[in-house]
Amino acid sequence: MDDLPRSAQPASPPVPERPARLYQTEAIILSRMALNEADRIVTLFTPAYGKYRVIAKGARRPTSRLGPHLEYFTHARLQMARGRELDVVTGAETLRPHMLLRTDLTAFGHASHMAEVVLRLTEERQENAAVYHLLVKSLALLDEAVDPFAVTRHFELAVMTLLGYRPELYRCIECGRDLEAEPNPFVASRGGFLCPVCRHRTTGSPMLSINAQKYLRTLDRHGLGAAVRLRVPDGLRDELEAFTSSYLRHIAERDFHSLRVWHAVTDGPGTSPPSAGASPPADRPAPGHAPG
């Protein structure tokens, strides 16, 4: 081997680069929990690193410089240090505080639901810039008081599409025929509707009205701008929310709580905006830890 010319000798394997200990990232604050009297564990959603948990030391102290930038739904730029188990927040800058989402009960409930969808349907440390930017845009629209029903239904349908769960809205999933303008059953396990000829193949699948199907197709074809201009009666809103909630529950194989809690609160007497320390039901504390 030593007699070979230098250019003919096998190259040494490249040494893998170690990631820099310090880095920056944009993030949406999805959830947080108290770690001890002073510190918090915060769940972030970022464009490059996906969803992951970090430690914010001292964030629970009233004088903390980090705390105000780590409120629920805040869009922030964070300075981070890699840790042995969890990375550590070393600095923070608020890009958009989304104050309406923390003071208006309806905006708060729908933002909590969006955060819960991301928490339930995305994987740890899996990059998904498209879902991140969708969440950033959707929270900004809620903060601008755009119709939360339309924003949330658009967000749900877009997340389903981006993650590979887009429902088939136009053709029968059994025979492929175009769906007629009539109520059709939606089969969650197959992600689509059955036409009148094929509907005998399912039992117990919920029927979706003509107007509900039209609304979903409007969202799919023309986007949020067209959906916002539609007048949607309360009964149709309830039907569409029940449909998306049921399909999301099937995808995630678990219940979603945020909108149900919001309805329980807003449908009762004497409702009021969430307090500054309110917690969206988007994540559960670790054993021995409290929300905070």
Whether residue 237 sits in one domain with residue 138: yes
Q: What is the CATH number of the domain that holds 34?
A: 2.40.50.140
Give the per-residue pLDDT at 203. Answer: 80
Angle at 189 between CA 52 and CA 128, to 5 degrees: 25
| Number of domains observed in the structure of the chain | 2
Dihedral-angle region of residue 99 (phi above 0 means left; psi in -120 to 50 means alpha; beta otherwise): alpha
- pLDDT of residue 1 exceeding 80, the answer is no
| Structure confidence by residue, pLDDT tens digits, 185-199 | 999 999 999 999 999
Whether residue 218 sits in one domain with residue 133: yes
- With cut-offs at 50, 70 and 90, classify the pLDDT of residue 9: low
Contacts of 63 (CB under 8 A, 6+ apart): none
CA distance 122 to 249: 14
Identify the bridge partners of residue 193 per DSSP, sorted by sequence position.
Answer: 186
Tell me if 290 is assigned to some domain: no
Task: Copy the structure tokens of residue 269.
Answer: 């007497």
**Contact yes or no for 218/227 (Cβ under 8 A):** yes
Tell me if 73 is assigned to some domain: yes
Other residues' Cβ atoms within 10 Å of the Cβ of residue 97: 16
Whether residue 152 sits in one domain with residue 92: no
- Closest Cα partner for 242 from 198, 209, 283, 280? 209
| Structure confidence by residue, pLDDT tens digits, 110-141 | 999 999 999 999 999 999 999 999 999 999 99
Whether residue 203 sits in one domain with residue 140: yes
| Structure confidence by residue, pLDDT tens digits, 27-77 | 999 999 999 999 999 999 999 999 999 999 999 999 999 999 999 999 999
Q: What is the CATH number of the domain that holds 202?
A: 1.20.1440.120
| Structure confidence by residue, pLDDT tens digits, 208-234 | 999 999 999 999 999 999 999 999 999
Whether residue 134 sits in one domain with residue 85: no
CA distance 218 to 214: 6
- Closest Cα partner for 138 from 129, 123, 148? 148
Whether residue 216 sits in one domain with residue 156: yes
Burial of 268: CB neighbours in 10 Å, binned 0-12, 13-18, 19+: exposed
Q: 62 lies in which domain range?
A: 22-97
Give the per-residue pLDDT at 267. Answer: 77
The percentage of the chain sitting over the pLDDT mark of 70, rounded to a whole number, equals: 85
CA distance 159 to 141: 16
Tell me if 234 is assigned to some domain: yes
Tell me if 246 is assigned to some domain: yes
- 3-class DSSP state for residue 240? helix
Whether residue 248 sits in one domain with residue 191: yes
Contacts of 9 (CB under 8 A, 6+ apart): 1
Other residues' Cβ atoms within 10 Å of the Cβ of residue 102: 22
Whether residue 166 sits in one domain with residue 254: yes
Whether residue 155 sits in one domain with residue 233: yes
Whether residue 64 sits in one domain with residue 190: no
Tell me if 282 is assigned to some domain: no
Whether residue 161 sits in one domain with residue 45: no
Tell me if 36 is assigned to some domain: yes
Q: Which amino acid is at 16?
A: P
| Average pLDDT score, the chain | 89
The percentage of the chain sitting over the pLDDT mark of 90, rounded to a whole number, equals: 79
Tell me if 29 is assigned to some domain: yes
Tell me if 190 is assigned to some domain: yes
Whether residue 256 sits in one domain with residue 197: yes
